[in-house]
């Protein structure tokens, strides 16, 4: 498990309230997550209310997934390890997208 303590430099400048919430949230993720994407009302295009949640997409390394037999079970494990504390509400809605890579 990895606790995220550093965020993109532009986040603090563009979205200071969201940046502050994420810093206080003690976001913990699985080691296979290679990128976290912020979207929704707390993202760059939105206008959040005080009680808005934070919408995050977790991008899992395809190199890790290539070696996993039961990808669905593995991705469920990744979501189960996600944790957030503080004033941030965690609503986990899991959508598992497995995209086949075609070489040709």
Question: Is the residue at 66 inside a domain?
Answer: yes
Residues 6+ apart with CB under 8 A from 93: none
Instruction: State pTM to two decimals.
Output: 0.73
**How many independent structural domains does the chain possess?**
1
Question: Is the residue at 71 inside a domain?
Answer: yes
The per-residue pLDDT for range 36-48, each reduced to its tens digit, is: 888 888 888 778 8
**Bigger pLDDT: 68 vs 84:** 68
Question: Is the residue at 65 inside a domain?
Answer: yes
Question: Is the residue at 99 inside a domain?
Answer: no
Cβ(53)–Cβ(43) below 8 Å? no
Question: Is the residue at 96 inside a domain?
Answer: no
Closest listed residue to residue 36, CA positions, set 80, 96, 82: 82
Does 96 score more than 60 pLDDT? no
Structural domain boundaries enclosing 57 = 2-81
Question: Is the residue at 28 inside a domain?
Answer: yes
């Amino acid at each position: 498990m990895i606790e995220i303590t550093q965020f993109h430099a532009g986040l603090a400048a563009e979205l200071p309230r969201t940046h502050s919430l994420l810093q206080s949230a003690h976001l913990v993720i699985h080691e296979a997550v290679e990128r976290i994407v912020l979207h929704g009302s707390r993202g760059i295009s939105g206008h959040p209310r005080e009680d808005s949640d934070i919408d995050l997409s977790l991008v899992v390394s395809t190199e890790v997934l290539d070696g996993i037999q039961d990808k669905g079970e593995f991705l469920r494990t990744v979501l189960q390890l996600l944790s957030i504390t503080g004033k941030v509400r965690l609503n986990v809605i899991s959508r598992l997208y497995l995209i086949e890579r075609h070489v040709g």
